[in-house]
Each structure stands twice: as structure tokens, then as C-alpha cells.
Amino acid sequence: MRRKDQSSKRQRSASAATSRRGRSPHWVTTPAGAAVVAGVATVIAAVVTGVFTVLPARPGTGSAPTVSPSIHARAARKVMPHSRIPGDKSIFVKDVTFPDNSSVKTGQHFTKKWELKNDGAIPWQARYLIPDGTSTGNCSYPPRVRVPATKPGQTVIISVPVIAAQTPGLCYVTWKMANATGSLYFPGYVGIWFEIKVLNPVSM
């Protein structure tokens, strides 16, 4: 799906992208500054080419990355090359709850919701969102959630119950649309995701 592709934040259709406003950089000419600029250029090049060096971490084993996954270009939410079924298409519409960089307390229970649109000619039936792709942090969530039946042209709200980690950090999970056996409907999409900052209550 892109995102929040597969779209269809985030398949970023699950198939399931909106550009962030950028700020003009203040370039420096010192050797240290040149190194920083070169590093930034490397990261940008990695995003553009689809290469990202942060390895996925399974829930319970990962730690927050030093660079926020929101660095993914919003262009990733555009339609990708192919879907498993000809005529099938998913579009990411919006984050209904907890948009990227939202904050929750350690141990907090919350529900992440996205709105997707069936923009193809194939009805969605017996479909699920499953975690697949870049993930980090120790949040807890189901191994899959049901996608309500959706006719072509309709939009649908998909909800994932999440329990924040007991320690502060970034909880980032990519989701994609699949059938009951785990086969992806939109293997060419990067997916949709949630990106949540888990903070100590005293920090909020």
C-alpha cells in the first residue's frame, strides 16, 4: 500500500504522502561543517534511492534510532509499481489519531487509527494489517488487525491497539495489507506506519 503508502506514516498502501515543510539550512564552510553537510547529503541520497541503514528491530528488542524514521520522504506515499491483484489500489488518506511525532506516556494504552481509501476496482474482504518493514522500540501491539470490508471508492478507518513501552524512546512500526496467510496485497508499497514518542510522565 502507499503511505503512508502501501499507500498507501507511515500499505507510507497498509497498503497505504504529504511533504513536510522544510527550513533552509545554514551552510558552514569549516572542515567540521563540511563533514556535517556531507553526512546530510548521504542520508538524503539514501532516502531518495530507497536505501536506509537503520535495521528493523522486533518489538521488545529494539532501541530508539538516532535519526527519526520520519526522515522517510513523503514521496514514499505515492503509488508504487505494482499490487498483487491487477486493479487493486490503496491510498493513504490521513492519520486519524496520533500523527507522526505524537507523544504518549510510558505504559500508556492508546489506539492508532488511519484512514485509507480503496481506490481500485477490487473489493477488500478478509484483509488485515500486519507489521512488515522498518520497526523499532518496545511497544506492544497485535500481530495483525482486521481491515473492515471496503468497496471500491470507499474509505475505511483501521485501528491498532498499542501499549507504549515502559521506558522512554521512539516507537515506530510499519504496517502493510495482507491476507490471512500473510501474503502482501501491495508488495511494491512501503506501507503505512505509526511514529510515537514514549516519554516519562514528568517530561510531558
Residue 200: alpha-carbon gap to chain centroid: 23
- Is residue 43 predicted with pLDDT exceeding 50? no
The percent of residues in the chain predicted with pLDDT above 90, rounded, is 54
- Where are the domains positioned within the chain? 31-203
Q: Are 3 and 190 spatial neighbours (Cβ–Cβ below 8 Å)?
A: yes
* pLDDT confidence tier of residue 202, bands split at 50, 70 and 90: confident
CA dihedral 59, 64, 68, 69 (to 10 degrees): -20
- Is residue 201 predicted with pLDDT exceeding 70? yes
Question: What is the CB neighbour count within 10 angstroms for residue 105?
Answer: 16
pLDDT at 167: 95
pLDDT at 63: 37
Average pLDDT, rounded, for the chain: 72
The percent of residues in the chain predicted with pLDDT above 70, rounded, is 59
Task: Output Rg (C-alpha) for the chain, integer angstroms.
Answer: 17
Higher pLDDT, 117 or 32: 117
In eight-state DSSP terms, residue 119 is -
Q: Judging by DSSP bridges, how do beta strands 127-136 and 109-118 pair with one another?
A: unpaired
pLDDT at 165: 96
pLDDT tens column, 120-157: 999 999 999 999 999 999 999 999 999 999 999 999 99
Which amino acid appears at position 136 of this protein? T
- Assign domain 31-203 to its CATH superfamily: Immunoglobulins (2.60.40.10)
Cα separation, 30 vs 52, in Å, equals: 28
- Is residue 197 predicted with pLDDT exceeding 60? yes
The pTM is what? 0.63
Lowest mean pLDDT among 62-66, 102-106, 148-152, 156-160: 62-66
Q: Are 23 and 10 spatial neighbours (Cβ–Cβ below 8 Å)?
A: no
Higher pLDDT, 69 or 116: 116
